[in-house]
Structure 1
């Protein structure tokens, strides 16, 4: 199956993004040949900002997002949302990319299941 996850919450402050990334990762690794794409809106675009530093023992959303990319997921961020937050394309984690409503529309048509987190 093909899954599209759409995130809206910031990377920290709630656990929605953390749990959504865990869920997406599980779908990629459970051996069922699922495909996963992740689209980030609003404050969620901070999830793919490179160089996040977290206290020892605390999860790092940037590393989790990069791990998704390294395991075959596509992770796109709303370009307008990146611009509004001053996040430059060269400051995204490896594998994350600037995206658009056009790409999200195509991903929505591609997906068997869309999950809003």
Structure 2
């Protein structure tokens, strides 16, 4: 089994980096299901991607993509320092998304076969 860690840094809307990372993670999970473990750790402005009920004007929906990934077994965590800095630590998150720590990111990094950053 391949253990893949995606580290996302960019805001969910404005550029397509966040969405492209999620698309790749989703495609890998759909193609290789049992052969791949997907973990996503969101930092900086990427943490805002986990806020529900956003209404993007672009043609893609970050919430829906995250929900599908979670349903397919992907682990998704947000940097606590980053959520605190943005005042969103106490806000509701997309179901299945949790707040994590740098210690968890360090552990995930050491366990990963590949680390992809966006």
Which bracket does the TM-score occupy, shorter chain normalised?
over 0.9
Tell me, in whole angstroms, the C-alpha distance in 1 between the residues paired with 2:73 and 2:82: 24
Deviation per residue, 1:44-99 (Å, 9 max, x gap) = 001111111124x7211122112111111000000111111111355110110000
Indicate the RMSD between aligned Cα atoms, in angstroms: 1.3
Stretches of structure 1 that go unaligned for 5 or more consecutive residues are none
TM-score normalised to structure 1 length: 0.93
Alignment of 1:19-38 (within 5 A): 19-31=20-32, 33-38=35-40
Q: Which residue of 2 aligns with 1:113?
A: 114
Q: Which residue of 1 aligns with 2:78?
A: 77
1:45 equivalent among 44, 47, 54? 47
C-alpha contact 1:47 1:62 (8 A) present in aligned 2: yes
Tell me, in whole angstroms, the C-alpha distance in 2 between the residues paired with 1:42 and 1:104: 14
Stretches of structure 2 that go unaligned for 5 or more consecutive residues are none
- Total equivalences in the alignment: 116
Q: Which residue of 2 aligns with 1:62?
A: 63
